[in-house]
Chain A
Amino acid sequence: MHSLWLIPIFPLVGFLINGMLGRRFSKTVINTVAVGSVVLSFLWVLKALSALAPLNETYVEHYFTWISSGTLDIGFDFAIDRLTMVMLLVVTGIGSLIHVYATGYMAHEGGYYRFFAYLNLFMFFMLTLVLAANYVLLFVGWEGVGLCSYLLIGFYFLKKSASDAGKKAFIVNRIGDFGFSLAMFLIVISFGTLDFQKVFAKASTISPEVQYGSITTICLLLLVGAIGKSAQIPLYVWLPDAMEGPTPVSALIHAATMVTAGVYMIARSATLFERAPIAMDVVAYIGLATAVMAATIGLVQNDIKKVYAYSTVSQLGYMFLGCGVGAFSAGIWHVVTHAFFKALLFLGAGSVIHACAGEQDMQKMGGLMKKIPITFAVLFIAAMAIAGVPPLSGHYSKDAILMAAHARAPWMYWVGVVTAGMTAFYVFRSIFLTFFGEYRGKAHPHESPAVMWVPLAVLAVLSLIGGYAFNIPEFLSPVLPMHGGVHDESLATIATAAGLAGILLAAICYLFVPSIPGALASAFAPIYQTLYDKYYVDELYNVSIVKPIANGSREILWKGADVGVFDALVNGAGTTSMALGGLLRKMQSGNLRTYASWVLIGILLVMGGFAVYGGAK
């Protein structure tokens, strides 16, 4: 036994300690508990991995039976294979860095202990999610991270917009869970178990060439869950709003880890998806559409966190595209590199916001390069990484996805390339608006303390070398099958060129000829406005779903049907018995003995009636 359970238990204990006693603790104690517990689980991951290396086979630990009824037998079991290993390292590694950063970022916030308690609880659920050996336990983590996301988005619960955003995230995710739940029920019927190893073993006896209806249905239903969690069309609407949460939360939960759970789940179920070509196509189309749509919105946003939020949605779309075209390991590779550079972008943005006294509007920034040089340097690296500039991390994973897409259908590659161009444009737009030119705000920007910039520096190094150093597809090849795409130099060059073109265009628009963006915006005002207002999707959902449910429930179901029909019928019948009611009222003389005697008389009458009736028979 390697006691895998310790990995999630450390942060759970941290949560319990800080959650129950944190109110009385000093910040030092809270920090030690919160950061210490996550670092401990990171170390335990390393220890388990070194003991288990090279991990060519899945290692499973059984703890106890959780749900058992009829054929259903679900255990609290953890399993670890190379895919889990990658996820564990990302979650605990990046998690540790962000915890450290947060001790600086949140230093002056109220509810300090509460924040770290939630953050630790999140780690517990996220680690449960990746360690789970069956779908239900994965679902436990899945729901748990959703809960923590709700709690942390709504951390500033005084603000209605924050608690609204938390609620929205939870409910939209639950809509996705609708699909996940049904998928599990169908898996039980099809395979008689929810255990990963057993399900995949049974599924792999079915040849991939055979169209297998219920596997396709299972995959499509799983996809519904993944769409909710990983913010894809049409359920992505919660993620941009989730930026109401503190920035470390955006970095950890809404960029690096939780939102990639959908990708992880699809990759985990690769054996099933490979036997469901229709579902694979849907994954790819949704991913591609989301990547494009979110990137276009990102082009025009002014709130720095909103830009990165839409960027996350867009990059998650890339990961889906990778999985959908069969390059699961490329998708996971992008999960890893994205965790590096997007966490860095968010934490860097947090450092900027911190420096500008809470300002998030890029129009009120500018010229920060000299004032916060470290932040500038790391953000610049992150921006180059996401733009796909070689040899930074993003370049490798994005290339792998685009190659696979080209092998599947060239047009997917081309759409992906254009999106890559847009990605480079919006991310450098944010860099130029923030760090170049003159400072347009009123605050007195200052560099963040070391506790904040050291984690940034570590992430910057990872963003620099993370792609070259970690060849995830090769590492995952025993678990996740390699895709058919071959590396093609000219295709790779085109993709890189698109990124560079995006950067150049951003430089022209925001450094050299600053009049262009304004002119374009007014020349194409309708398009600009549509993008700026995010295609009015929230408004559309509100009018077509939220309002009808609310009004329908209140006016038709409650006041109409419930009170108006069913209750009225009963009351109508009740009027006839008003005489009886009057009688009853008279009996209520208020004297207890009278009541008691009525009770007695009633029971005696019933019994007596029986005695007489039965006796006569």
Chain B
Amino acid sequence: MNMGDHLLSWILFTPLLGMVVVLAVPSSNKYLVRWVANLAALASFLVSLQLVLRFDTHAAGFQFVERASWIASLGVNYSIGVDGISYLLVILTTALTLLSVLASWSEVEERLPAYYAMLLLLETGILGVFLSLDFFLFYVFWEAVLVPMYFLIGIWGGERRLYAALKFFLYTMTGSVLMLIGILILYFAHANQFGVRTFEIADLMRVQLPIAAERTVFWLLFLGFAVKVPMFPFHTWLPDAHTEAPTAGSVMLAGVLLKMGTYGFLRISLPLLPNASQDWGIVCILAVLSLIAILYGALVSLMQKDWKKLVAYSSVSHMGFITLGIFSLNVKGLTGAVIQQINHGISTGLLFLLVGIIYERRHTREIAEFGGVAHRMPNYAVVFAIAMLSSAGLPLLNGFVGEFTILQGAFEVNPWWAALAVPGIVLGAAYLLWLYQRTMLGELTNEKNRQLLDLNLREWAVVLPLVAAAFWIGIYPKPLFEIVEKPVAQIMDRLHRTELHQKEVQP
């Protein structure tokens, strides 16, 4: 099989192929369905690994670009490519999908083919968002992600799944409709200014808008992205969606779906709207919203009684660090933000997988139902401790590297940003250690926990890769920094070259 010139298309559509195969398997043979789904996810992952072998870290710009006309009359192209930022997210997506599919082995029993089909469809959708170089294509994939996620929550979710699914759908739908308006403004502006209809992001960069218009477009796109991240105060869909989703859904949601929002800022907002992005007023608003998210998310986490909801709120806090890094608009902030996207996927993905493992055994997420679990599940307790420390930003684990770089970047813009963000790390230690104490430590008091079994082989296979990644990034993150260097330099270049209304961000 020669994937030579269409590597990205292969990456993009292998999950879709897998989905077709899974749907073709007779649903009565659950065992076979599971195997096929796992193999499909594995195949997608292996295909994406080609990127690891062939991606050129030192090349600037997009690689493996494929371009074909799709709707010629509108200037819509099937145009995909990958740079350092999307490269990392692509690998994260295929890896987390594989682990999510594997983690679902014994959790889901109902409508199996459909369930796996939705997960694989979701994978293609997310990959499409990260790979698109055409704004229309980007939007199609953006919307396409919504549908499988809606069904994953709504059909295979917890007790309040319908409420959560609907909330998720309406919330993000509203955001994306506003985003669409923003896209169209750019599209027509380009058509007017250059007489060419195109959705190519690279071309749209040429558009010159009056600053007021640029700001409007910025806020429209912002609403689309901010809901996804989610940034405060657009976050209230997240605790419900995360809590009600099946484990795989939560992992995908936290691990990669949220990154669509921050990716949007990096890929679209900053390069396409450099003046608005550097508008000091806008920057301040976004930094303040990020700081509120960091502290508010952490404080609300602290008091949660539901294990999964606690992790969900912690995501709000952690994503706040990423947006803070992005809107520091300097090399350190951006680099840290890109790396932290990956780190958050690893740490929070791991935490959700671990919650799923215990939920499958006990069918409850009430923290008060647990305590002393470490007696029965010593290995689980160790892995959980590693996940917790990675999330709390302990050095030599992944979270620290990104957070430190982000905060250094933020500090250089305004020391108060860092000073207000760091307490989020202190609180992070507090809510995680308290969770750990209440669930893992102490006497085993609840009789129902006496029968708990420790990690089985399949569960080890699910958690170990993430644990290994956490240590690897924590100890030797150099390859990541190298991958991120070029694309970040490009964003910085784009921001600096903007002559119009150039306003250097000053401390």
Interface residues of A (CB under 8 A from B): 64-72, 136, 139-140, 143-144, 147, 150, 154, 157-158, 160, 163-164, 167, 170-171, 174-175, 177-178, 181-182, 184-186, 188-189, 549-550, 552-554, 557-558, 561-562, 566-567, 570, 574, 577, 580-581, 584-585, 588, 592, 595, 599, 602-603, 606-607, 610-611, 614-615, 617
Residue of B nearest to A194 (CB): B408
Q: Do A67 and B166 contact each other (CB < 8 Å), given the known contacts A163-B437, A592-B114, A611-B71?
A: no
Q: Are B419 and A182 closer than 8 Å at their CB atoms?
A: yes
Interface of B is mostly: helix
Given contacts A177-B425, A182-B418, A553-B303, 6 further A-B contacts (CB under 8 A): A144-B394, A167-B433, A171-B430, A181-B407, A553-B299, A570-B171
Residue from A147, A154, A189, A574 in contact with B394 in the complex, judged by beta carbons closer than 8 Å: A147
State the CA gap A68–B405 with chains docked (Å): 9
Q: B396: which A residues are within 8 A, CB to CB?
A: 140, 144
Give complex CA distance A401, B74 in Å. Answer: 81
**Which single residue of chain B is at the shortest CB-CB distance from A551?**
B303
The CA of A114 and the CA of B404, in the complex, are separated in Å by 31
Binding site for A on B (CB under 8 A): 71, 73-74, 76, 111, 113-114, 136, 140, 143-144, 147, 151, 154, 162, 166-167, 169-171, 191, 197, 233, 235-237, 296, 299-300, 302-304, 330-332, 335-336, 372, 374, 389, 394-396, 400-401, 404-405, 407-409, 411-412, 415, 418-419, 422-423, 425-426, 429-430, 433-434, 437, 441-443, 475-478, 481, 485
- State A394–B2 Cα separation when bound (angstroms): 76
Q: Is the CB of A70 within 8 A of B335?
A: yes
Check if B434 sits within 8 Å of A167, measured CB to CB: yes
**B400 to chain A: which residues have CB within 8 Å?**
143
Sorted nearest first, the 9 A-B pairs with minimum C-beta distance are A70-B331, A185-B411, A554-B303, A553-B299, A614-B74, A140-B395, A69-B335, A157-B441, A567-B236
Shortest Cβ distance from A561 into B: residue: B296
The reply to whether A67 and B481 contact each other, CB–CB distance below 8 Å, is yes
Given contacts A139-B395, A144-B396, contact A65 B299 (CB under 8 A): no
Give Cα distance in the complex from A588 to B147, angstroms: 13
Which A residues are in CB contact (< 8 Å) with B485? 69
Known: A144-B395, A160-B442. A549 touches B299 (CB 8 A): yes
Q: Are A174 and B426 in contact (CB under 8 A)?
A: yes
Q: Is the CB of A186 within 8 A of B415?
A: yes
Q: Quick check: B236 and A570 within 8 Å, CB to CB?
A: yes
20 A-B pairs within 8 Å (CB atoms) are namely A66-B477, A68-B481, A157-B442, A158-B372, A160-B442, A171-B430, A181-B418, A185-B411, A186-B415, A189-B412, A566-B235, A570-B236, A592-B111, A599-B147, A603-B140, A603-B143, A610-B76, A614-B74, A614-B197, A615-B74
**A159 nearest CB neighbor, chain B only:** B442
Which of A66, A174, A186, A610 interacts with B71 by CB under 8 Å?
Answer: A610
**Which chain A residue has the least Cβ–Cβ distance from B382?**
A19
**What DSSP secondary structure best describes chain A's contact surface?**
helix
Q: What residue in chain A is nearest B296 (Cβ atoms)?
A: A557
- Would A606 and B143 be within 8 Å (CB), given that A140-B396, A157-B442, A160-B442 are in contact? yes
Assuming the A-B contacts A158-B443, A550-B303, are A603 and B477 also in contact, with contact meaning beta carbons closer than 8 angstroms in the complex?
no
Cβ of B114 and Cβ of A72 under 8 Å apart?
Answer: no
B300 touches A558 (CB 8 A): yes
Residues in B whose Cβ lies below 8 Å from that of A566: 233, 235-236
> Could you tell me the distance in whole angstroms from the C-beta of B476 to the nearest C-beta in chain A?
7
Chain B residues whose CB sits within 8 angstroms of the CB of A584 once the complex forms: 166, 169
Bound: A574/B154 CA distance, A: 17
CA distance A154 to B385 in the complex (A): 13
Among residues of A, the one whose C-beta sits closest to the C-beta of B418 is A185
Please, how many angstroms separate the alpha-carbon atoms of A49 and B363 in the complex? 59
Contact (Cβ within 8 A) A186 B395: no
Question: Which of A65, A69, A154, A177 is the most central at the interface, judged by chain B CB atoms within 10 Å of its CB?
Answer: A69
Q: How far is the CA of A66 from the CA of B485 in the complex (A)?
A: 14
Question: How far apart are the CA atoms of A449 and B303 in the complex, in Å?
Answer: 48
Q: Quick check: A157 and B374 within 8 Å, CB to CB?
A: yes
Cβ contacts under 8 Å, A147 to chain B: 389, 394
